[in-house]
Each structure stands twice: as structure tokens, then as C-alpha cells.
């Protein structure tokens, strides 16, 4: 029988060098050429531990009943929902030969994980770009990649929230291409005192020096991925089979209490 997890068994990011702080865990979800989303799950340090412990507990209990699902598997929204890649184990027969509704099991794991995250009381932000393929035509000189644009819009809203409660924010983001460029854009905005666009904002509540990390080592980033994939599927995927479509609605209902606003999606 596996041992129960300890709080903080996966890392939550290096401490910032000032007192009380918020941690924004960043991940992305997209449909190539159609939409690119960046989500941020904003947590206090205590909530970081709660999210980490909660997801570890979901896996511990799942592994106890289904030992073919390893304790170190990564929560990844698309893979878990579609039972692909690491989560293709959910397409296999149970270890003891039992016949199990594997889709039902996958959905159950997803719901329990999202429920654990939502009950921590964290704040979830979504921003993105619809039809990112139009960006080069509209901005032919030095067009920004869609991740950089979505990240700007997301961090603007995170900074607004942090300012409203008088806190600062440490950013911990999943590794992506061009991450140094993305971070440099944010530093330029902070130096200017405003972002660009129709409604520029001050994002100086965001600490400089992002932490770019491997999502496998950070359950809160995985939690953000679970949430952001739900938003992507609910808003931008049509024509789904009735069963997964109904499941996305159930997941949406679990996640929406911590969603701040309705999400900001820009169309070039």
C-alpha cells in the first residue's frame, strides 16, 4: 500500500525576498491557428501547499485502487481528459484484470483534482488570443508570438488583483520557447510604467525575475493546466460527443467559482 503524501512533496518555487507574497502559476493551452490561452492560478503560500497536497492525495487514493496509475504521473488537462500520452494507461485493462469504465475513471480523477484546487480559494485568471494566425498580417513589423500577447493580458489582470489587495506577485511559469523574450517584454512595460494596447496598465505588482520551471515538478502549474484546458474545451471546442461535452460542463461548474471575470480573449 502506498504511503500518504506529505505536504509540499513537490516544489512550489524559490521564496521571494520580501514578506507576504502571492504566487502566480502560469501555463498555456491552445488550438493551433485558432486560439492561444494563458492561465494564471494565483495562490498564497498556504494555498500552494493545499493545492500540492490535494493533487498528491488524489493520486495516492487513485493508485491505491488502480496501481497501474503511478504516483508521479503529471496532471495534464488534455492528456488526462483524452487518456493520451502518460494517461494512455487509462486505456488499458485494470492490473487485476477487472473490466473498468476507463473514461469514467479519467473523468472522475479530473473532477476530484479540480475540486481540490477550487476548494483552496485561489484565484484563476484567463486571457488569450483568438485567430493568432492573423497577427502577422495585422502587425507585419516584428509581430509578437501569441504566447507573449496572452501572457501580457493575463499578467495585467493578475497585477490589477494584487494591487487591489496590496500584495506583490511572484511568477512561476512552465517552460516555453522564447521565455527570455517574453520576460524581457514584461520588464520593458515595468520600466515604462504601462503596458501597450488600448487599455494600458501598470504591472509593477509583478516581481521581476520569473521562474521558468518544468511543470512535472510543480503541482500548482499542473492545476493551472487542468483549469485552462477546461476553459479551452468549453469555449472553443464544438461538436463534441455528448459524453465528453457533458463532462466539460461538470468540470466548468467546479472550476468557475475561482475564475476571475469571464476571461479576456482578443481577436486581431
Sign of CA dihedral 34, 203, 257, 14: positive
Could you tell me the residue range of the domain that residue 205 belongs to?
22-266
pLDDT at position 240: 79
pLDDT at position 208: 92
pLDDT at position 55: 98
Structural domain total, the chain: 1
Within-domain flag for 31: yes
Within-domain flag for 221: yes
Count Cβ atoms within 10 A of the Cβ of residue 19 and give its class: 0-12 exposed, 13-18 middle, 19 or more buried: exposed
pLDDT at position 7: 37
CA distance 6 to 219: 13
Task: Give every strand in the sheet of 264-266, ordered side by side.
Answer: 211-213, 169-174, 22-31, 35-43, 123-130, 264-266
Within-domain flag for 12: no
pLDDT at position 98: 61
CA distance 1 to 112: 21
Count Cβ atoms within 10 A of the Cβ of residue 1 and give its class: 0-12 exposed, 13-18 middle, 19 or more buried: exposed
Within-domain flag for 1: no
Within-domain flag for 185: yes
- CATH number (domain holding residue 46): 3.30.420
CA distance 245 to 114: 17
pLDDT at position 191: 87
Question: CB within 8 A of 144, min separation 6: which ones?
Answer: 135, 185
CA distance 146 to 24: 20
Within-domain flag for 2: no
Within-domain flag for 199: yes
The residues of the chain scoring below 70 in pLDDT are 1-20, 93-100
The answer to pTM > 0.75 is: yes
Within-domain flag for 3: no
pLDDT at position 96: 60
Amino acid at each position: 500500500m502506498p504511503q500518504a503524501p506529505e505536504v509540499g512533496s513537490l516544489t512550489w518555487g524559490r521564496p521571494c525576498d520580501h514578506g507576504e507574497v502571492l504566487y502566480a502559476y502560469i501555463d498555456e493551452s491552445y488550438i493551433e491557428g485558432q486560439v492561444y490561452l494563458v492561465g494564471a492560478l494565483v495562490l498564497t503560500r498556504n494555498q500552494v501547499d493545499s493545492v500540492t497536497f490535494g493533487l498528491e492525495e488524489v493520486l495516492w487514493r487513485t493508485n491505491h485502487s488502480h496501481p497501474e496509475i503511478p504516483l508521479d504521473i503529471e496532471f495534464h488537462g488534455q492528456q488526462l481528459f483524452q487518456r493520451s500520452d502518460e494517461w494512455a494507461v487509462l486505456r488499458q485493462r485494470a492490473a487485476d484484470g477487472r473490466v473498468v469504465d476507463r473514461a469514467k475513471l479519467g473523468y472522475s480523477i479530473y473532477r476530484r483534482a479540480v475540486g481540490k484546487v477550487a476548494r483552496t480559494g485561489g484565484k484563476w485568471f484567463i486571457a488569450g488570443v483568438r485567430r493568432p494566425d492573423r497577427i502577422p498580417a495585422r502587425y507585419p513589423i516584428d509581430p509578437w508570438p501569441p504566447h507573449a500577447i496572452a501572457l501580457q493580458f493575463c499578467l495585467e489582470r493578475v497585477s490589477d488583483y494584487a494591487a487591489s489587495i496590496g500584495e506583490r506577485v511572484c511568477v512561476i511559469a512552465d517552460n516555453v520557447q522564447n521565455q527570455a523574450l517574453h520576460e524581457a517584454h514584461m520588464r520593458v512595460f515595468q520600466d515604462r510604467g504601462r503596458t501597450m494596447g488600448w487599455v494600458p496598465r501598470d504591472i509593477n505588482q509583478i516581481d521581476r525575475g520569473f521562474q521558468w520551471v518544468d511543470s512535472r515538478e510543480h503541482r500548482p502549474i499542473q492545476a493551472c493546466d487542468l483549469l485552462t484546458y477546461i476553459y479551452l474545451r468549453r469555449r472553443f471546442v464544438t461538436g463534441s460527443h455528448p459524453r465528453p461535452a457533458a463532462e466539460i460542463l461538470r468540470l466548468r461548474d467546479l472550476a468557475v467559482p475561482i475564475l476571475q471575470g469571464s476571461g479576456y480573449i482578443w481577436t486581431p
